[in-house]
Amino acid sequence: MDVLRIILLILHFVGLAMLFGGFLVQQKAIAAGEGTVLPIMWRGALTQIVTGILLVATIQIGDLADLNNVKLGVKLLIAIVITVLVFVYRKKTPAPSWALWTVGGLTFANIVIAVAWR
């Protein structure tokens, strides 16, 4: 079970890199009002949700730790909002700047929650 958890955690980080990286590489385009939701961002958002849920499941099944369900609920809610925004604006060119900034901000907020909230 521990090997599965480690693989899922690595894939979760890959999804984070896909989502946040897609946002970061187009800062100039977003500022100019020409940003788009890149296909890699959509895949990253889906990867984050799927691996996050599977991570929680493997930890609960293996009884590896006490989980903070409030924290996990907040992170899941943020991930759902990110995924909905990415899905809705993935075919709009250009995507509204506010949507892209929201995706980037919420992704960063999820990182902070994961690291700082005990």
| Structural domain boundaries in the chain | 2-116
- The residue-averaged pLDDT of 66-73 equals 92
**Average pLDDT over the chain, rounded to whole?**
95
What does the pLDDT look like over 34-67, one tens digit per residue? 999 999 999 999 999 999 999 999 988 887 678 8
Q: How far apart are the first and last CA of the chain?
A: 23
Percent of the chain scored above 70 by pLDDT? Answer: 99
CB 16 within 8 Å of CB 111? yes
HSE (side-chain half, CA atoms, 13 Å) at 86:
28
Q: Which stretch of DSSP H or E encloses residue 93?
A: none
